[in-house]
Amino acid sequence: MSSMLAIACVVDSSLSIAAEWNQLLTEYILPLLQRCAESYTSRDFRIGFVSYATAETLPTPVLSTVFFSSPAVVVKDLREFPTRMGIGETGSSESQGMAALEGLVAALELFDTLKNSAETTACHLIHIAAAPPDSAERPMWNLCPSFDFVSWDTLPGELRKASLPSVSILLKPITRFSQLYASAAAGSTQAPWFSVRPSHTLHLSGFPQKGIKREVVAPAERSPESKRARVQPPPAQSSPKPTTAVPPTQTSSTHASPTRPGQPSSMALIPDVQQRMQMMMNTIRRNMQQVTALEREGHHVEAVALKDQMLLQVHEFQRIKEQLARAQMQSTGAGSNGSTVPRSSETPTTQTAMGQVAPPAVAPLSQPQISSMSDPAPASQPAPQPRPPILSAPPIASSASGSISAQPPPAIQVPPQGFAGNPQMAAQMHKLIEQRNRAPAPPLAQVPPTSGNVGASGSQNAGQNAPPRAVWHGILSWSGSDPETHVKKDLQAYVMALSSSNAEFMYADTWPKVLSLAPSSEPNIRDSPSGLDPKINEDNYRDLFRLLFEKNVYALAAWPGADGRVENRLLIFPVKGGQQSLLVGAYFPMPGGVPELPKADIGGIQIPAELTALISKFPPNQQAAIEALAPDKKLTFLKAMWMRIIHSKQQQQQQQQQQQQQQQQQQQQQQQQQQRLQQQPNQTLQPPLAIRAQLACEPVAAVKSGQPDGHIGFNAGPAQGHGIAPGMHQRTPSGGGQGVPNVSFEMLQSFMQRNPEGGAGPSTGHV
């Protein structure tokens, strides 16, 4: 394991920090980093970063966690893209406090992971805060179980146990933090060597003093021959020759193996790759816990999207692991093959005058070239610059030219070794690996070998039918009110943006992690291209649905086809499910249009549509009872219902016919009576005898039966327009009575029956 200097910066994400971030970075952080760089001569100098928010922040209060990387890269991100690191993502939280305990424990976990993978020369902690901590007594989002019971009382001991000299930079006095770092320092505090603003509070302990440099002791096993002066090789032998041309016993420096200079470079890259793998393993573990939490809360869409990301991460982890193993095998093979190469005393081209090993005379290798790191390079190339940090894992190149293999990646067979100690995680990883092996290769594997631009080619070859993938995830923040108490409060929701194509044009890397929402002054306008009133349009749609549903019919639409024939081509029917009412259409483009529709069928028995409509109006329990009947009983029941429908129809038809006949008879009688009146020679003659008899017997009939007899007078009364004509003399019966003397009701009735025409002949009475 290589030794290194590790510094972790823990910063709260309040707006107060963001407002003074440039000054904090320039006046405090950079002087501290510069002092550490001057005091330690280790070649490996790494910086980690943690930012934390409030406890209510989703999905986790720890907004950003950056594993120990190159100072140049981390400082560049802190200076140019502070929002990516979580700075300024939280508003003022002075009242409720922030999850400082979560952030400090996350930093302890970073140091714990680093110490398991590398030999650290020194560790330092820088904490910058503007808001006080919240009331939490235990961390809830830590990954390592050993930190489950860390509290504010035990945190100073944890800092001393980890040998973490700390610096706290407070924008205002915060009692909790002052007590914490005073206890962790155990009285050994320092005065800052840089200026501190009056409003700020700074606690410094354990940092090296100016002028004291801590050298990294060289290994004791180094051969004394390494201090020999460097001897330049003959110019004629500057280019390397193949290894096969070197005799095993030859000791001339002009025939050195060309693979020998490349070996230190490949071995030097291995610690960086191991750190990258450890960081990826931590990320996978964290994502697995988030997937479990999302599934427990019912957020299945977010869980599936996160699983897809985990599959890619697992595949990338396994690929880097295989490349690392191959590089180690190549390095081991190169060392064994070069065992007969002359010793360092006989190869002056690899020595320096100061006794240190000179940089190999090969071109600098980037991470995509790990698979070819054993390839020789001309000695005339310039010495490599300090190797860049491995911040991401791009696709491994198959050659030094940087082209990407078009072959799909091999299927993952075994989970990473880091999950062997946790059976639950191992089981979940096996499931993810099986899903990954069944899934198609990722789009990046489809890039052609001749492509030079990985990002552009990968996006173009992904295809328009690619499944949606997450391009951004973050928090939506807005001001709302509690539904029960109606108290105004700030609300947040974790969301994920999905895109199926052209994801690179969304520039999701420029989006902030927290989107603050504000209502627009313009109302939401729904486009109505038809020009109809949306309310009227919706009502008409419901009327059409109700008509089709209640009438139990289809709606057909016809238009001319390719042959010019107008045929029914669209069939629309209602579908009702729950609270939704939908109209579903079936289109028939072939000649003939809509085929012959099936007959109504209940339990294998075809019945008329009228009976089907009647049964469909029955309650559900009655319909179920009909369906439960045996076929013979069901047929008998349906026949009985159909006979009742037919009988009811016949009765209605008979009644209609009778009414029509009665109306025709009444019309005929009225016409006959009008004709008789027109045939009278003298309009002053008295009415026919039948009419006088009717007028005389009406009171008698009323006294006898209580109601007039409808058969008297042929149902022709004054209401039928057949009374005494105007100006006609009405004869008064003798005796002054209302009835005719000595004439009974039966006699009148018998008379009327004998004279059905009502006295059509000449009258014998007197005027």
Q: Name the nearest CA neighbour of 555 among 544, 541, 569, 571.
A: 571
Sort strands 119-129 and 166-170 into parallel, antiparallel or unpaired.
parallel
Lowest mean pLDDT among 14-23, 187-196, 207-216, 295-304: 207-216
Q: Are residues 607 and 587 in the same domain?
A: no
Residue 174 sits in which domain range?
4-204
Dihedral over Cα of 224, 228, 230, 232: its sign: negative
Q: Are residues 14 and 143 in the same domain?
A: yes
Q: What are phi and psi of 459, to 5 degrees?
A: -70, -35
Report how many domains make up the chain: 4
- Give the DSSP letter of residue 708: -
Q: Are residues 493 and 620 in the same domain?
A: no
CB–CB of 10/52 below 8 Å? yes
Q: 463 in a domain, yes or no? A: no
Q: Name the nearest CA neighbour of 437 among 415, 459, 469, 462.
A: 415
Q: Name the nearest CA neighbour of 353 among 176, 538, 226.
A: 226
Q: Are residues 511 and 637 in the same domain?
A: no
Q: Are residues 499 and 608 in the same domain?
A: no
755: left (phi over 0), alpha (psi -120 to 50) or beta: beta
Q: Are residues 84 and 55 in the same domain?
A: yes
Q: 443 in a domain, yes or no? A: no
Distance, CA of 665 to chain centre: 79
d(CA 340, CA 330): 17
CB–CB of 86/108 below 8 Å? no
Lowest mean pLDDT among 112-116, 168-172, 497-501, 698-702: 698-702
Per-residue pLDDT band for 143 (boundaries 50, 70, 90) equals confident
Q: Are residues 514 and 485 in the same domain?
A: yes
739-743 contacts, C-beta under 8 A, 24 or more apart: 739/696, 739/697, 739/699, 739/700, 740/693, 740/696, 740/697, 743/696, 743/697
CB count within 10 Å of CB 224 equals 8
Average pLDDT of the chain to the nearest whole number: 68
SS3 64: strand
The residue that leads in pLDDT, 634 or 215, is 634
d(CA 29, CA 35): 10
Could you list the beta-strand ranges (E) of 3-118.
3-12, 45-52, 62-69
d(CA 368, CA 277): 15
What does the pLDDT read at residue 229? 44
Using the 3D structure, point to which of 263, 296, 324 is the last residue of a domain: 324
CB count within 10 Å of CB 205 equals 18
Half-sphere exposure of 313 (CA within 13 A, CB side): 20
**578-617 tens-digit pLDDT:** 667 788 888 888 878 888 877 665 555 566 666 777 777 7
Q: Name the nearest CA neighbour of 206 among 167, 161, 242.
A: 167
d(CA 660, CA 307): 80
d(CA 249, CA 243): 13
Q: What are phi and psi of 14, to 5 degrees?
A: -75, 160
The mean per-residue pLDDT over the stretch 108-127 comes to 81
CB count within 10 Å of CB 390 equals 21
Asked whether residue 501 carries a pLDDT value surpassing 50, the answer given is yes
d(CA 583, CA 575): 6
The residue that leads in pLDDT, 109 or 252, is 109
What does the pLDDT read at residue 605? 58
Dihedral over Cα of 681, 686, 689, 693: its sign: positive
What's at 296, amino acid-wise? R
Sort strands 119-129 and 3-12 into parallel, antiparallel or unpaired.
parallel
Q: 242 in a domain, yes or no? A: no
SS3 222: coil
Q: 712 in a domain, yes or no? A: no
613-616 contacts, C-beta under 8 A, 24 or more apart: 613/551, 613/552, 614/641, 614/645, 616/552
d(CA 678, CA 166): 131
d(CA 506, CA 468): 14
Q: Are residues 91 and 190 in the same domain?
A: yes
Asked whether residue 105 carries a pLDDT value surpassing 70, the answer given is yes
Per-residue pLDDT band for 335 (boundaries 50, 70, 90) equals low
Per-residue pLDDT band for 407 (boundaries 50, 70, 90) equals very low
d(CA 444, CA 462): 8
What's at 755, amino acid-wise? N
Asked whether residue 50 carries a pLDDT value surpassing 90, the answer given is yes
- Give the DSSP letter of residue 119: E
d(CA 463, CA 316): 22
Q: Are residues 305 and 190 in the same domain?
A: no
Q: Are residues 98 and 192 in the same domain?
A: yes
What's at 216, amino acid-wise? V
Q: Are residues 97 and 131 in the same domain?
A: yes
Using the 3D structure, point to which of 553, 578, 597 is the last residue of a domain: 597
Q: Are residues 586 and 616 in the same domain?
A: no
Interacting residues of 586 by C-beta distance below 8 A, sequence separation 6+: 570, 571, 572, 573, 594
Question: Exposed, middle or buried, 302 (CB in 10 Å: 0-12/13-18/19+)?
Answer: buried
**213-233 tens-digit pLDDT:** 444 444 444 444 434 444 444
What does the pLDDT read at residue 269? 63
**639-694 tens-digit pLDDT:** 888 788 888 888 888 888 888 888 888 888 888 888 888 776 555 445 555 555 55
User: Percent of the chain, pLDDT > 90?
Assistant: 3
Q: 454 in a domain, yes or no? A: no
d(CA 764, CA 520): 103
- Give the DSSP letter of residue 584: E
Asked whether residue 282 carries a pLDDT value surpassing 60, the answer given is yes
Q: 342 in a domain, yes or no? A: no
The residue that leads in pLDDT, 651 or 751, is 651
Per-residue pLDDT band for 321 (boundaries 50, 70, 90) equals confident
Both ends of the chain: CA-CA distance in Å? 151
What does the pLDDT read at residue 758? 47
Using the 3D structure, point to which of 554, 570, 597 is the last residue of a domain: 597
Q: 228 in a domain, yes or no? A: no
Q: Alpha-carbon Rg of the chain, whole angstroms?
A: 51
Please report which residue ranges of 349-391 form alpha helices under DSSP H.
Answer: none
pTM of the model: 0.34
Q: 430 in a domain, yes or no? A: no
DSSP output for 10-35 = EEE-BHHHHHTHHHHIIIIIHHHHHH
d(CA 105, CA 97): 17
Instruction: Examine residue 364 and say whether the peptide bond preceding it is cis (omega within 30 degrees of 0).
Output: no
Asked whether residue 168 carries a pLDDT value surpassing 80, the answer given is yes
d(CA 599, CA 606): 6
